[in-house]
Amino acid sequence: MRRSVSKVLPQLLRSNAAASSPAIQQIGFKLHLVRAFADDTNLKRTALYEFHVAHGGKMVPFAGWSMPIQYKDSIMDSTKWCREHASLFDVAHMCGLSLTGKDAVQFLEGLVTGDIAGLADGTGSLSVFTNERGGIIDDTVITKVSANDIYLVVNAGCREKDLEHIGKHLDAAKAKGMDVTMTIHDDRGLLALQGPSAMPVLQKMTQFDLSKFYFGMFAKFDIKGVPCWVTRTGYTGEDGFELSIPNSGMNTIAEALVADSEVRLAGLGPRDSLRLEAGLCLYGNDLEQHITPIEAGLAWTVGKRRREKFDFLGGERIKQQLADGVPIRRVGFISAGAPARQHSDITTPDGTVIGEVTSGAFSPCLKKNIAMGYINKPHDKAGTEVKLVVRGKANNAVVTKMPFVKTTYYKG
Amino acid sequence: MALRRFAVQFGLRAQAPVADLAASWGRAFATVLPELKYAKSHEWAKPQGDVAVVGISDHAQGELGDVVYVELPEVGATVTKGETFGVVESVKAASDVYSPISGEVVEINQALVDEPAKVNSSPYEDGWMIKVKLSNSGELGDLLDSSAYEAHCQH
């Protein structure tokens, strides 16, 4: 049945302006009315704001930006479309930046766990910025463009925090005479094209041979005549590309992509379902300042070469955790009953609390409840039966290996 | 129906700008059945003698998106007008459902356990939620008739 769209919300917002009425409770949909009026004047807009509105995007505030949570398709349909065709996401709210200079690699290695020096030119990887206690400040995809040029993308919600953190250390580095400069790419926007049809769709728009362009690689080439920086990566578990595009070219490329019948627009709603199905972490839910990459199951981000000196913030703690192990672990769950959400307790079958859910939702592709959370060892073994407590009810669940949906990264 | 807990996992808060909502959302043409009574919170009641069948309106299911789970009370439970009797979950959020009338739950729609999407495809028929033996049939008079509900939804 086609979903109907409503004017209920604007009407309620107006009525709320009068008094705090029970109308506050009459909210449909995913919006939590805390104030009677729209205070959106401070929300940032990407270059595609009008494009989203014109294409039926439902705009919501996210990390200080006005972003589409979905378009005409339901979140379920949108998620499935991505895995069967191709979906286009505006992710320009994320922050792209570059570190350049002959000491850029050394500088960055002081702040992240990855072996940046060891990356081949034109390749990248997921890494994490750590704090003094080895906790995660943010996760990021770091690409070594060349020996003196590193390109990074960080989360929108962590932008201020990350830039302040990097900036502080940059000042200290420069004071010591290091040659490193930071450039923030606010003149560029980011689009993500994801799904099995992403490659054939994009190939029609560029001369660059995508068949030899594998997962994790980076290159600069023209798309529809617009010079882009492209990484073969994404946040869905599917094959796909993240396109860094000058703001002036965003609409051209977005319009060209949606003109292809294989491509549909997708918003933040399906983006979250997709990443959870792929077992990928969301900072603020599954990763936090007090969680180390070892606890988060991201020990692989600590490069092998980095395990000689552990010369990054919090290195000592990470070294100790790798040596001694950690008492908790991030695992996946499939559960019965109502979907578990962030902060649901995880208990043993007899009710002892042994962990907490950090992300959960109904999986559109699996048609089951999936969740991610941290659990005390030894309950972390796949197949362990536990309970997830949702609204006072302890629902049966089983520890499940992730990804929940098989990934299809393009490795040639 | 109300958004009880904000299950969107990346911390969406506050509401979308009114102007943007008006611009980006089209006109509502949700079905409103003339023979039912409606609560402002988007539940409907269908009187059948001393029992009323209760569900959520087409408007409400459209707002929610795909329903993936429905939590209903036990048979024999008491429901009170204006208070929650259950929860409807979509992919990303959980919403309370409020009873439009008071009484005793005499039947619940078991079909919703296996097929919660009936709430979307057939909100007034197969997607019914509970049947309540009315303790105060006068409460039906407090509810909106179909044209009043339609007006409530659309102005």
Q: Looking at the partner chain, which of A1, A338, A361 has a beta carbon nearest the beta carbon of B92?
A: A361
Give the per-residue pLDDT at A40.
59
> With 90 as the cut, is the pLDDT of residue A124 above it?
yes
Question: Looking at beta carbons, which residues of chain B come within 8 Å of A70?
Answer: 65
Would you list the DSSP string of chain B? -EEEE---TT---S---HHHHHHHS--------TTSEE-TTSEEEEEETTEEEEEE-HHHHHHH-SEEEEE-PPTT-EE-TTSEEEEEEESS-EEEEE-SS-EEEEEE-THHHH-TTHHHH-TTTTT--EEEEES-GGGGGGSB-HHHHHHHHH-
CA distances from B147 to B34, B35, B123, B144 (A): 8, 10, 18, 8
**Shared fold status for A40-326 and A327-403:** no
| Domain spans of chain A, in order of start | 40-326, 327-403
CB contact under 8 A, B25 and A362: no
> With 50 as the cut, is the pLDDT of residue A145 above it?
yes
Question: How confident is the prediction along chain B (155 residues), in pLDDT tens digits per residue?
Answer: 764 443 343 433 333 333 333 333 433 468 899 999 999 999 999 999 999 999 999 999 988 889 999 999 999 999 999 999 999 999 878 899 999 999 999 999 999 999 999 999 999 999 999 999 999 999 999 999 999 999 998 86
Which of A292, A269, A271 lies closest to A374, judged by CA? A292
| Domain spans of chain B, in order of start | 41-153
pLDDT digits (tens, 9 = 90+) for A27-80: 333 333 333 334 456 899 999 999 999 999 999 999 999 999 999 999 999 999
CB contact under 8 A, B24 and A58: yes
CB contact under 8 A, A58 and B25: yes
Give the CATH architecture of domain A40-326. 2-Layer Sandwich (3.30)
Which of A279, A309, A243, A305 lies closest to A399, judged by CA? A279
How is residue A156 written in tokens?
């929108």
Instruction: Report yes or no: A366 at the B interface, CB cutoff 8 Å.
Output: no
Strand residues in A253-390 grouped as ranges (E): 263-265, 328-335, 345-347, 353-363, 368-376, 385-390
Instruction: Report yes or no: B3 at the A interface, CB cutoff 8 Å.
Output: yes
Q: Are A92 and A47 in contact (CB under 8 A)?
A: yes
For testing contact with chain B, the best of A5, A79, A158 (most B CBs within 10 A):
A5
Query: CATH for A327-403?
Result: 2.40.30.110
Instruction: Report yes or no: B28 at the A interface, CB cutoff 8 Å.
Output: yes
Distance from CA of A160 to the nearest CA of B (A): 17
**Closest chain B residue to the Cα of A284, Cα to Cα:** B10
Q: What is the DSSP letter of A27?
A: -
Strands A263-265 and A86-90: parallel
Q: How far apart are CA A147 and CA B52, in angstroms?
A: 73
ipTM entry? 0.74
Give the per-residue pLDDT at A4.
34
Strand residues in A11-148 grouped as ranges (E): 58-62, 65-70, 86-90, 95-100, 123-130, 136-146
What average pLDDT does the segment A132-152 reach? 98
Distance from CA of A403 to the nearest CA of B (A): 18
H or E element at residue A53: helix A49-54
Instruction: Report yes or no: A13 at the B interface, CB cutoff 8 Å.
Output: yes
Q: How far apart are CA A155 and CA B42, in angstroms?
A: 37
How is residue A98 written in tokens?
């570059």
Q: Looking at the partner chain, which of B16, B25, B71 has a beta carbon nearest the beta carbon of A5?
A: B25
Sheet containing A263-265, strands listed edge to edge, beginning at the edge strand earlier in sequence: A218-223, A226-231, A240-246, A188-194, A86-90, A263-265
CB contact under 8 A, A338 and B71: yes
What residues pair up with A182 in beta bridges, in sequence order?
A99
Cis, bond preceding A349 (omega within 30 deg of 0): no
Rounded to the nearest integer, the mean pLDDT of chain A is: 91
Give the CATH architecture of domain B41-153. Beta Barrel (2.40)
